[in-house]
Amino acid sequence: MGRITNKNEYTEHYNLSMKDGDAYWGKIAEELHWFKKWDSVQSGNFDDLNLKWFEGSKTNMSYNCLDRHLEKNGDKVAVIYEDNDPSVKARTFTYKELHAEVCKMANVMKERGVKKGDRVCFYMSMVPELLIGVLACTRIGAIHSVVFGGFSANALSGRIQDSECSMLITNDGGYRGNKIIPLKDIADEALESCPSIENVLVVKRTDSDIKWKEGRDHWLGELMEKASTECEAEQLDAEDPLFILYTSGSTGKPKGLLHTTAGYMTYAYHTFRNVFQVEEDDIYWCTADIGWITGHTYITYGPLLNGSTTVMFEGVPTWPDAGRFWDICDKLKVTHFYTAPTAIRALEACDIEYVNKHSLSTLKVLGSVGEPINEEAWSWYNKNIGKEKCPIVDTWWQTETGGIMISPLAGITDLIPAHATLPLPGVEPLLVDSEGTPVEGNPAEGNLCMNRPWPGIARTIWGDHERYKQTYFSTYPGKYFTGDGARRDEKGNYRITGRVDDVMNISGHRIGTAEVEDALNEHPNVVESAVVGFPHNIKGQGIYAYVICQNAPENEEVLQKELNEIINKMIGPIAKPDKVQVTSGLPKTRSGKIMRRILRKIAANETDSLGDTSTLLNPEIVDTLMAGKK
């Protein structure tokens, strides 16, 4: 079947994938390398939830990302590494060089006792060893669990404990603009409560002063020097775990989504090439952090599976100034640029000169991911960055989906500002009403579900299959529920409207309201709290916290500072509330449930449309809340 190259082919691919999914995905997968072919393409369904793809096969992710290209493309650049410091020349790794580094790191892990099935945690900034390390895990069948370097010690230890990682890989410190994040110090603190960790490999990056635990801590660089550049790729089963990635939900602690080998690999491969349409000499840059799913699938696996050149950037968009992204685009001759709406809006708010002093003439395709992109930001991106000649792919997907699900194909299918448009092959979206009844016909609006399994779907939540069933498949039995609402236009194009559950999207980061509330409630003076998202110009959503205090705080600013510290400690700075309102009560139903709908409306200043509040246990609280609005 190959890559989709025109609109008719999109339709052909899509129709075949719906009519005979096994035939379709079998053909796609044949383009990858298999030590042994599969016995069956797909089995299991959304009732039994024992989903399997390419069962009976043997394959290896790192072999497909690296070895498969060596003969023809060994000297092609696989990764361009752009340092935080703009005066440092970008480093490149050819496929051959990357292969050697990955083998070395795999050998180091093996020598330190890591075996197939063991969990290895990465708590790093964007250093090359992160990308090399995850590939090294896949080479030996170890399961990587990358924890974003902005999370706190508490958040890190919770994730390490949950999946009982035996190794942690970190760096002494991480550069982010003009700041240094003390990663090793934070990791040390986390490890006080992580008995499963036997070895810590430390990358020297900032030369910061760090503590050292003999026997446990090792400099990765020293071990790498002695390691062999040959390491045979383990022949793994199709459903052998590939990685765990934690993400927030509407309730409880973060969930460790588990992705497995063959299906995820095939899906990453196929979605990358079709959505972005990267050609042989193109330079593709996704600005995400490898700590998120976007960085897994579309910095690392998707591009490398396709033999493309992928850019990895250590720094931030606004340092040394707001032109950094555009500077890099020109310097590295970037052709494909994939970022988040929050970054676009933040850069849009800066002087346009930061854009205009760069040519941006190499750009061919732009992408957006992480949250709905508003029309205004879409137009600015299109006009100022794409110069109205680059298609913008608005890619909708989730940590759980493994890869892009609904998106235009660059230069192939039609674009509509702020619309993710059409489902990719193999993806069968369905809109349902609150009862779960499918909303047929066009146009339509409803809750977005998926009606059939696709190869990249997460197979379970680590250690809690019941929670997996409960979270995604119980609201609408027999369907996967995304948690998002969407509209479908006359022609079947989807527009994602945002989460319909208690998950917030803050600058493209997914944060559960319950998680933030649990942290706020740790404050000795907080009796109860309720957290909602509210519209925010740059972040998309901001965090609005209502707190009930035991004793009226003497100084609300001090309280807010203390709450921020708790959030920093429990979760990380990304979850800090933008606004805190101290209140004497929260609107509750007669059964004692907080009416979040009302809190959201007040936070969003939409108090004209509060709806019926008379059924509340305490209707008078609504006026009080409105009067004290922050």
Where along the sequence are the contacts to ligand WT7 (CB under 6 A)?
Answer: 247, 293-294, 369-372, 394-399, 420, 482-484, 496, 498-499, 505, 510
> Considering beta carbons, is residue 64 or 407 the nearer one to ligand WT7?
407
Q: Compute the distance between CA of residue 194 and CA of residue 180 in angstroms, rounded to an integer.
A: 24
CB of 190 to ligand WT7, least distance (A): 22
Q: Compute the distance between CA of residue 388 and CA of residue 386 in angstroms, rounded to an integer.
A: 5
> Considering beta carbons, is residue 427 or 582 the nearer one to ligand WT7?
427
CB of 336 to ligand WT7, least distance (A): 16
> Considering beta carbons, is residue 171 or 399 the nearer one to ligand WT7?
399
Is 456:465 a contact under the CB 8 Å cutoff? no
> Considering beta carbons, is residue 497 or 615 the nearer one to ligand WT7?
497
CA 487, 490, 492, 496: dihedral to nearest 10 degrees? -20
Q: Compute the distance between CA of residue 410 and CA of residue 415 in angstroms, rounded to an integer.
A: 9
Phi, psi values for residue 427, rounded to 5°: -105, 120
CB of 291 to ligand WT7, least distance (A): 11
CB of 373 to ligand WT7, least distance (A): 7
Q: Compute the distance between CA of residue 345 and CA of residue 347 in angstroms, rounded to an integer.
A: 5
The residue of the chain with the least Cβ separation from ligand WT7 equals 399
> Considering beta carbons, is residue 156 or 203 the nearer one to ligand WT7?
156
Q: Compute the distance between CA of residue 222 and CA of residue 225 in angstroms, rounded to an integer.
A: 5
| Mode of pairing for the β-strands spanning 255-260 and 460-461 | antiparallel
User: CA-based diameter of the chain, in Å?
Assistant: 74
CB of 628 to ligand WT7, least distance (A): 30
The DSSP code sequence of 310-347 is EEEE-S-TTSS-TTHHHHHHHHHT-SEEEE-HHHHHHH
> Considering beta carbons, is residue 139 or 539 the nearer one to ligand WT7?
539
Q: Is 562 exposed, middle or buried (0-12, 13-18, 19+ CB in 10 A)?
A: middle
CB of 218 to ligand WT7, least distance (A): 32
> Considering beta carbons, is residue 263 or 372 the nearer one to ligand WT7?
372
Q: Compute the distance between CA of residue 62 and CA of residue 586 in angstroms, rounded to an integer.
A: 52
CB of 558 to ligand WT7, least distance (A): 33
CB of 459 to ligand WT7, least distance (A): 16
Q: Which of 487, 298, 488, 514 is nearest to 399 (CA)?
A: 298
Q: Which of 417, 445, 415 is nearest to 429 (CA)?
A: 445
Contacts of 580 (CB under 8 A, 6+ apart): 545, 547, 556, 559, 560, 563, 630
Q: Compute the distance between CA of residue 290 and CA of residue 179 in angstroms, rounded to an integer.
A: 19
> Considering beta carbons, is residue 307 or 408 the nearer one to ligand WT7?
408
> Considering beta carbons, is residue 99 or 576 the nearer one to ligand WT7?
576
CB of 102 to ligand WT7, least distance (A): 25
Bond before 443 cis per omega within 30 degrees: yes
CB of 211 to ligand WT7, least distance (A): 33
CB of 286 to ligand WT7, least distance (A): 11
CB of 404 to ligand WT7, least distance (A): 8
Question: Residue 21's Cα: distance from chain center in Å?
Answer: 26
Residue 401 DSSP class: G
CB of 275 to ligand WT7, least distance (A): 11
> Considering beta carbons, is residue 144 or 510 the nearer one to ligand WT7?
510
> Considering beta carbons, is residue 118 or 371 the nearer one to ligand WT7?
371
Contacts of 167 (CB under 8 A, 6+ apart): 109, 112, 114, 118, 119, 120, 121, 197, 198, 199, 200, 201
> Considering beta carbons, is residue 282 or 484 the nearer one to ligand WT7?
484
Residue 477 DSSP class: T
CB of 481 to ligand WT7, least distance (A): 10
CB of 319 to ligand WT7, least distance (A): 23
b/e for 346-373, b at 16 or more Cβ within 10 A? bbbeeeeebbeebebeebbbbbbbbbbb
Q: What type of residue sits at position 375?
A: E
Q: Compute the distance between CA of residue 100 and CA of residue 213 in angstroms, rounded to an integer.
A: 29
> Considering beta carbons, is residue 238 or 392 the nearer one to ligand WT7?
392
> Considering beta carbons, is residue 172 or 484 the nearer one to ligand WT7?
484
Q: Which of 379, 419, 370, 378 is nearest to 397 (CA)?
A: 370
Is 180:206 a contact under the CB 8 Å cutoff? yes
DSSP 3-state assignment of 133? helix
> Considering beta carbons, is residue 69 or 499 the nearer one to ligand WT7?
499
